[in-house]
Amino acid sequence: MLKLRVIPCLDVRDGRVVKGVNFVSLRDAGDPVEQAKLYDKAGADELTFLDITASSENRDTILDVVQRTAAEVYLPLTVGGGIRRCDDMRRLLLSGADKCAINSAAIRTPELINEAAERFGSQCVVVAIDARSNGKGGWEIYAKGGREPTGIDAVAWAEQMAERGAGEILLTSMDRDGTRSGFDLDLLKTVCDRVSVPIVASGGVGELSHFVDGAKVGASGLLAASVFHFGQFHVSDVKAALHNAGLPVRLNR
């Protein structure tokens, strides 16, 4: 049986791991390669690197981080941040990334997703969506790391991205990110119900029960950063909680 994926996320800036709380006030949590090795041993199912300043400075540092990680860790690796064109993806894939998460560039040029899926296959094209409640029962997507409103409906966007060839949606609730109050389950369930590719839930976990809640509304992957980095939970705690709730997880090899 296919298992739920527990995915630690490393926000990387200038080759160092940081985690933004509501996308500001960054705290340093160490070397990405060392962190990746720890998560590999801890039983993580995948790892995600988000290069949070890639679009403005030091963009190539992530290639080195990916290369060094792929040499040490035999786990699927998703990398996002600052990907503008297919050639950026190619460089990441050649460095050892398995999937690339595209956000702002897809908003600017939706056809990029068709092109990337055709060239590399849907399996390595992840569309990252930063969504915020519009106060009217819907959600709007934001570009540029959550700084730029777009007026685009998040659910329709997720559907369009899957149609264009995205193999996975990484769905972050901006309202919940960093709050530790749980995933935005309305948003998550709505997108899971409307889109048939796997959905990775992100933004807001603070309790073990939050992972269970996300899985129950249909997420295939559960992504978190701070709760892992600062030692609040071990990956095995999360898996035990999911397992105890009757959900399928990979407990051993």
Write the CA distances from 5 to 12, 28, 68, 185, 207, integer angstroms: 21, 25, 23, 18, 17
Query: Using the rule CB under 8 A, is 32 a contact of other proteins?
Result: no
Its sign, for the CA torsion 133, 176, 2, 112, is positive
Alpha helices in the chain (DSSP H): 32-42, 61-70, 86-95, 104-108, 111-120, 154-164, 185-194, 208-216, 226-229, 235-244
Residue from 11, 51, 88, 98 in contact with other proteins (CB under 8 A): 98
Closest CB to other proteins among residues 18, 63 = 63
Q: Quick one: tokens of 46? A: 């995948």
The window from 53-61, 73-81, 102-110, 153-161 that contacts other proteins (CB under 8 A) reads 73-81
Closest CB to other proteins among residues 24, 196 = 196
Query: Using the rule CB under 8 A, is 88 a contact of other proteins?
Result: no
CB-based contacts of 136: which residues, under 8 Å, 6+ apart? none
Nearest approach, Cβ of residue 64 and other proteins (Å): 13
Residue from 11, 45, 88, 177 in contact with other proteins (CB under 8 A): 45
130 is catalytic: yes
Residue from 122, 133, 150, 236 in contact with other proteins (CB under 8 A): 122
Per-residue binding letters, 171-210, with other proteins (x by CB under 8 A):
-------------------------xxx------------
11 is catalytic: yes
Closest CB to other proteins among residues 87, 196 = 196
- Among residues 70, 66, 73, 71, the alpha carbon closest in space to that of 82 is found at 66
Per-residue binding letters, 130-159, with other proteins (x by CB under 8 A):
------------------------------
CB-based contacts of 179: which residues, under 8 Å, 6+ apart? 22, 204, 206
CB-based contacts of 60: which residues, under 8 Å, 6+ apart? none
Closest CB to other proteins among residues 43, 178 = 43
Q: Which sequence positions are flagged as catalytic? A: 11, 130
